[in-house]
Amino acid sequence: MGKVPSLVGVKDRLSADQFSATLTKGRGAMPAFAWLAEYQVEDLAAYLFELEEKKLELQDQQVSDPDKPKKYTNTGYIRFKDHEGYPAISPPWGTLSAIDIENARIKWQIPFGEHQELSKRGLPVTGTENYGGPAITSNGLLFIAASQDEHFRVFDQEDGTLLYQSKLPAAGYATPSIYTVNGKQFVVVACGGGKLGTRSGDYYVAFALPE
């Protein structure tokens, strides 16, 4: 620690000029940021040192130069994707895992969800991003939607074997609910979609369990 200069209380330790020099030339283990444009260094100094006069000057410059960044701001949560729009990391991009809590281990884990266009190229199932949890029954069934590929699936909770799947009218980014009517068991999932580039919907889809 101490090898990289801290920004905490920087205006009490350095002048704005000293800060700018440290930023562009580096210090200790901190590399030089010589590639920063002069106005970028000035903007950072104005922000960190609360230089109101400098802020007003920068604002005036921004009015005369509309291509110049207006301010430092949060651009939000941006996903890291490759040139085809898929996650820019090695698959699987989504998994379904069973945890053996008693022995603190993963009992089984499988890729969860499928990009069919990649499967048609001969690629192994990659999994997809998913939102939503599973519902399970006492006889060992695991129900889950959640995947970007808009499918509802049933697995054997003991080993992860896929027992059934069905295409939904929109992605079911929700945890299914299990209920009983007149002694017959059903499972229902809300299909709102809308995330991850999937279509939006306003459906509830229910499945009846066999007798």
- List pLDDT tens digits, range 22-63: 888 888 778 888 888 888 888 888 888 776 455 555 555 555
Q: Looking at residue 65, what is its pLDDT?
A: 56
Q: Looking at residue 153, what is its pLDDT?
A: 97
CATH topology of domain 95-208: Lipocalin (2.40.128)
Residue-wise pLDDT for 123-139, tens only, equals 999 999 999 999 999 88
Cα distances from 206 to residues 19, 146, 189, in angstroms, run 63, 15, 7
Q: Looking at residue 63, what is its pLDDT?
A: 53
Task: With a cut of 50, say whether residue 1 has pLDDT above it.
Answer: no
Please give the model's pTM, rounded to 2 decimal places. Answer: 0.64
Q: Looking at residue 51, what is its pLDDT?
A: 61
Residue-wise pLDDT for 7-17, tens only, equals 778 888 888 88
Q: How far apart are CA 201 and CA 150, in angstroms?
A: 11
Question: Quick count: other Cβ atoms within 10 Å of Cβ 26?
Answer: 15
Question: Where along the chain do its domains lie?
Answer: 13-64, 95-208
Contacts of 210 by beta carbon, 8 Å cutoff, 6+ apart: none
Question: Quick count: other Cβ atoms within 10 Å of Cβ 9?
Answer: 8
Bridge partners (DSSP) of residue 194 are: none
φ, ψ of residue 87 in degrees (nearest 5):
-55, 135
Contacts of 146 by beta carbon, 8 Å cutoff, 6+ apart: 112, 113, 130, 131, 132, 133, 134, 172, 173, 174, 175
Residue-wise pLDDT for 110-122, tens only, equals 999 999 999 999 9
Task: With a cut of 80, say whether residue 73 has pLDDT above it.
Answer: no
Asked if 33 and 25 count as a contact pair (C-beta separation under 8 A), the reply is: no
3-state class (DSSP) for residue 81? strand
DSSP string of 151-181? EEEEEETTT--EEEEEE-SS---S--EEEEE
User: Out of 61-65, 115-119, 168-172, 203-207, which region has the weakest mean confidence (pLDDT)?
Assistant: 61-65
